[in-house]
């Protein structure tokens, strides 16, 4: 969960995202619910990896702002977000000229652990919401997110963890 100090740091970002997504819904809920789910997932992963990355937390809140609102990179800069945060948001923003799988590969090819973690956490939140769906659409989305999460987990593992063979 977010402590008081971190909440104070992230509050302006949360308010900005709330403004930008104000009339949007996600699975019948205010869009900010999804943003907070992704944020909580990112915090959990960072805790598991014993990492701290406040800029990644800002990106978690902002991850859909370029894709789903009228926000621009210049606006994010004007709001004071770092180039790293903006880069993460750009990387997880769909490139409409690419397939879903190609977009995931683009994130992996960036080599940025933060972008891979962010997309993994977004996919996990999306996957969880598919449980409320029925039929072929649910199956399609669950398959898409499962494949994506597997690729992202493998890439994170390869990027972050060092393999050591016993006896070396």
Residue 76 in tokens: 């994010």
pLDDT of 30 reads 94
Coil/strand/helix, residue 66: helix
pLDDT of 162 reads 52
Q: Is residue 168 part of a domain?
A: no
Per-10-residue mean pLDDT of the chain, 168 residues long, equals: 73 96 92 96 91 94 97 98 98 97 98 96 95 90 96 91 49
Residue pair 120/145 in contact by the 8 Å Cβ criterion: no
Q: Is residue 167 part of a domain?
A: no
pLDDT of 50 reads 82
**How many domains is the chain built from?**
1
Q: Is residue 90 part of a domain?
A: yes
pLDDT of 4 reads 67
Residue pair 151/133 in contact by the 8 Å Cβ criterion: no
CATH of the domain at 154: 1.10.3210.10
Distance CA 66, CA 154 (A): 27
Residue pair 31/82 in contact by the 8 Å Cβ criterion: no
What range defines the domain where residue 54 resides? 4-160
Q: Is residue 71 part of a domain?
A: yes
Q: Give the alpha-carbon dihedral of 134, 140, 144, 145, to 10 degrees.
A: 0
């Amino acid at each position: 969960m977010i402590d008081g100090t971190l909440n104070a740091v992230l509050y302006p970002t949360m308010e900005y995202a709330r403004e930008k997504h104000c009339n949007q819904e996600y699975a019948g809920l205010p869009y900010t619910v999804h943003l907070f789910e992704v944020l909580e997932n990112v915090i959990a992963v960072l805790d598991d990896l014993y990492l701290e990355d406040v800029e990644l937390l800002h990106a978690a809140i902002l991850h859909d702002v370029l894709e789903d609102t009228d926000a621009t990179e210049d606006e994010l800069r004007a709001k004071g977000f770092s180039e790293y945060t903006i880069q993460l948001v750009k990387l997880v923003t769909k490139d409409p000229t690419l397939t879903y799988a190609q977009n995931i590969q683009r994130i992996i090819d960036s080599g940025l652990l933060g972008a891979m973690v962010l997309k993994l956490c977004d996919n996990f939140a999306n996957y969880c919401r598919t449980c409320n769906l029925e039929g072929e659409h649910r199956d399609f989305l669950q398959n898409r997110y499962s494949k994506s999460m597997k690729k992202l987990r493998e890439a994170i593992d390869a990027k972050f963890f060092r393999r050591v063979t016993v006896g070396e």
